[in-house]
Structure 1
Amino acid sequence: MVVLNETDAQVAEEGGASRLALATSMNEGGRTPDIGVIESVINTVGVPVRVMIRPSGGSFTYCDKEQVKIAQTVKEIAELGGVDGIVVGALTSSGHVDRAFLEKIIPVTKGMKLTFNRAIDNTVDIHEAYDTICDYKEFVTHVLTSGGRPKAEDALLVLREMMAQSWERRGPVIMPCSGITGDNLAYIHQFLYAKYYQIGTAARVDRSFNQPLELEQVQQLSALCE
């Protein structure tokens, strides 16, 4: 469940969310929240919290200066203690997973788990990209993806192929996301039987990140995958 602040986190946990993805500026695709917000959330809830690491919206290709800044942010979050992991990812200018980026980030995570973000949906070959990520499966535990399409519902076959690939490689868990709602989650789950799904606006008033989470919606969405 995507949460933006302490109040969201409390509602999500009460509603049965198994883990939280903490971010800000979701209308821009998501950015890294302030350290104070991170600290507040991890001191409030007991479920695992993974923090989005993204300095700005737009491209997932970062210059050396941006990569240094990202690594410093990850180090600061790791030093807080209590954060389960981070959601991060980067691509080369040619549209492949940026190995050098991962190799800069992993040493400063201090045991935090990594979820590779939707950068994978912008790669030239999503299956090849997943294979590359598998080379770091000791550290990367999940891959957040909509199967290369704007919405997961439009890429169910690709997502099922990725889940099979995950099984064969004993690799990071595929976590479908984007466009998943109370109207289609049961159908998607019957097709994929994924262990986790990331829910964004589906549990919010007016399905907008400008509105709060609704406890009843969180509960209903959590129950659909039981």
Structure 2
Amino acid sequence: MLLEFIVQNGEEAKQAEEMGADRVELVSAISEGGLTPSYGTMQQVFESVSIPVQVMIRPHSFHYCYSDDDLDIVRKDIQSLIDLGGKRIVFGVLHHDGTVHETALQALIERYPQLDMTFHKAFDEIPSQQDAYQTLSKYKHNVKRILTSGGKKDCLSGKEPLHELVKMERETNGPAIMPGGGLHVGNIADVHQTVNAEQYHFGKAVRLHDSFSYPFDDEKINRIKDVIQKGKH
């Protein structure tokens, strides 16, 4: 079982690793849903931890339909990441009709074949997640996982579609489904019992006062680990 936590800097990344996180997602502007962190922040985090760091690559928070200028920024940010020795990104790009912008995705993978990508919660805005899963599966050597709440407002209300997506993952050996969005100590048992995923993504719910302004809460994290271990199928 793998747990991923959101972090905003090197200090938080170190604390997450000490608390038992298996991987972190590095973001800036979490109040905007997460944007690309600065070069300096990326460097600081890479130097702070030994666990994998997935870096958010998102040029703005308005939508997931990117112009050529937006995609130029995306390429430059990815190049900065690679220059620092990284290869792990969190990214998503859609057409205006909400489907995966396969051309843009493929172009990035061809340009940076070493990428290890999480396709982020843009996935929850797609009309047919099952069709989108099949599309992303074509790139599973780079699109390693999909962060999603099953197309619903949170993982609890999306637990049934998440269960279906996990079934697709196991039947096709496609990208891993990583439930994330609204997960917390009070609902992880219910979600895990239905979904039975292999990895979960947590944000403010593993922090003191349920706020990104505060450090991680070891009691909450230990309770989550305990629930997941007990709920293993």
Does residue 187 in structure 1 map to residue 190 in structure 2? yes
Separation in structure 2 between the aligned mates of residue 127 and residue 110 of structure 1, nearest angstrom: 25
Separation in structure 2 between the aligned mates of residue 201 and residue 180 of structure 1, nearest angstrom: 9
TM-fit CA distance, 1:2: 0.5
Structure 2 residues without counterparts, runs of 5 or longer: none
Q: Aligned to 1:9, which of 2, 6, 13?
A: 13
Matches within 5 A, 1:42-61: 42-61=46-65
Question: Is contact 1:78–1:110 with CA below 8 Å preserved after alignment?
Answer: no
- Equivalent in the alignment of 2:119: 116
- Equivalent in the alignment of 1:87: 90
Equivalent residue letter for 1:68:
D
Matches within 5 A, 1:129-148: 129-148=132-151
- Aligned in 2, Cα 1:78/1:84: closer, same or farther, shift over 3 Å? closer
- Superimposed CA distance per residue, residues 48-93 of structure 1 (whole angstroms, 9 cap, x where no aligned partner): 1100111111301101110111011111101211x35100010001
TM-fit CA distance, 1:110: 4.9
- Equivalent in the alignment of 1:40: 44
Separation in structure 1 between the aligned mates of residue 36 and residue 215 of structure 2, nearest angstrom: 19
Separation in structure 1 between the aligned mates of residue 217 and residue 192 of structure 2, nearest angstrom: 22
Question: Is contact 1:16–1:222 with CA below 8 Å preserved after alignment?
Answer: no
Matches within 5 A, 1:158-197: 158-197=161-200
TM norm structure 2: 0.92
Equivalent residue letter for 1:25:
A
Matches within 5 A, 1:18-37: 18-37=22-41
- Equivalent in the alignment of 2:227: 224
Question: Is contact 1:74–1:105 with CA below 8 Å preserved after alignment?
Answer: no
Stretches of 4+ aligned residues off by more than 4 angstroms = none
Structure 1 residues without counterparts, runs of 5 or longer: none
Equivalent residue letter for 2:143:
V
- Aligned in 2, Cα 1:222/1:38: closer, same or farther, shift over 3 Å? farther
Question: Is contact 2:46–2:53 with CA below 8 Å preserved after alignment?
Answer: yes
- Superimposed CA distance per residue, residues 71-127 of structure 1 (whole angstroms, 9 cap, x where no aligned partner): 11111101211x351000100011100011112221343523011011110011111
Separation in structure 2 between the aligned mates of residue 180 and residue 113 of structure 1, nearest angstrom: 24
Q: Aligned to 2:218, which of 204, 215, 219?
A: 215
Question: Is contact 1:49–1:85 with CA below 8 Å preserved after alignment?
Answer: yes
TM-fit CA distance, 1:209: 1.7
Does residue 203 in structure 1 map to residue 168 in structure 2? no
Does residue 65 in structure 1 map to residue 64 in structure 2? no
Separation in structure 1 between the aligned mates of residue 225 and residue 61 of structure 2, nearest angstrom: 29
Separation in structure 2 between the aligned mates of residue 40 and residue 107 of structure 1, nearest angstrom: 28
User: In terms of mean alpha carbon deviation, does 214-223 or 133-142 score higher?
Assistant: 214-223
Q: Aligned to 1:155, which of 155, 158, 168?
A: 158
Separation in structure 1 between the aligned mates of residue 7 and residue 222 of structure 2, nearest angstrom: 15
Equivalent residue letter for 2:147:
L
Separation in structure 2 between the aligned mates of residue 109 and residue 27 of structure 1, nearest angstrom: 29
TM-fit CA distance, 1:214: 2.3
